[in-house]
Chains A and B, each alone.
Chain A
Amino acid sequence: MKESLMDILCCPVDKHDLELTVETKDDEEIIEGELTCTECGEAYPIEDGIPNLLPPDMRDEAAA
Chain B
Amino acid sequence: MSEESESSSTPTDSEERAAGDVQAVYDRIADHFASTRAYAWPEVESFVTAIADHEGLDRGLDLGCGNGRHTELLAEHGADAISVDVSRGLLSAAATRQRDHGFAADLVQGDAATLPFADDTFGQIVYVATLHHLRPESTRRESLAELGRVLQPGGLALISAWSTAHDRFDAETAFDTTVEWTLPGGETVDRYYHIYDPEAFRAALNAVDAIEPLVVTVSSGNCYAIVTTADSDATPITWPVESIL
A-side interface residues toward B, CB under 8 Å?
1-2, 5, 8-13, 15, 44, 49-55, 57-58, 61-62
A52 neighbours in B (Cβ, 8 Å): 88, 109
B244 neighbours in A (Cβ, 8 Å): none
Known contacts A2-B106, A9-B108; A54/B115 CB under 8 A: no
* 26 A-B contacts (beta carbon < 8 Å): A1-B108, A5-B108, A8-B59, A8-B82, A8-B117, A8-B118, A8-B121, A9-B117, A9-B118, A10-B117, A10-B118, A15-B119, A44-B116, A49-B95, A49-B107, A50-B91, A50-B109, A51-B116, A52-B88, A53-B116, A54-B86, A54-B114, A55-B114, A58-B86, A58-B111, A61-B23
Minimum CB distance partner of A17 in chain B? B118
Contacting A62 at CB < 8 Å: which of B23, B91, B116, B119?
B23
Expressed in whole angstroms, the minimum distance between the Cβ of A7 and any Cβ of chain B is: 8
Q: Does B20 contact A (CB under 8 A)?
A: yes
Expressed in whole angstroms, the minimum distance between the Cβ of A58 and any Cβ of chain B is: 6
Does A62 lie within 8 Å of B110, measured CB to CB? no
State the CA gap A41–B107 with chains docked (Å).
Answer: 23
State the CA gap A15–B24 with chains docked (Å).
Answer: 25
Known contacts A8-B118, A11-B116; A55/B106 CB under 8 A: no
Additional pairs, 7, CB under 8 Å, beyond known A50-B88, A50-B107: A10-B116, A12-B110, A13-B114, A51-B108, A53-B109, A54-B86, A62-B24
State the CA gap A61–B17 with chains docked (Å).
Answer: 11
Chain B residues bordering chain A, tally (CB within 8 A): 25
Minimum CB distance partner of B121 in chain A? A8
State the CA gap A12–B27 with chains docked (Å).
Answer: 21
A15 neighbours in B (Cβ, 8 Å): 118-119
Top 4 A-B pairs, shortest CB-CB distance: A53-B116, A61-B20, A12-B116, A12-B114
| B window 109-147: CB within 8 A of A | 109-111, 114-119, 121
A8 neighbours in B (Cβ, 8 Å): 59, 82, 117-118, 121
State the CA gap A28–B59 with chains docked (Å).
Answer: 20
Does B118 lie within 8 Å of A12, measured CB to CB? no
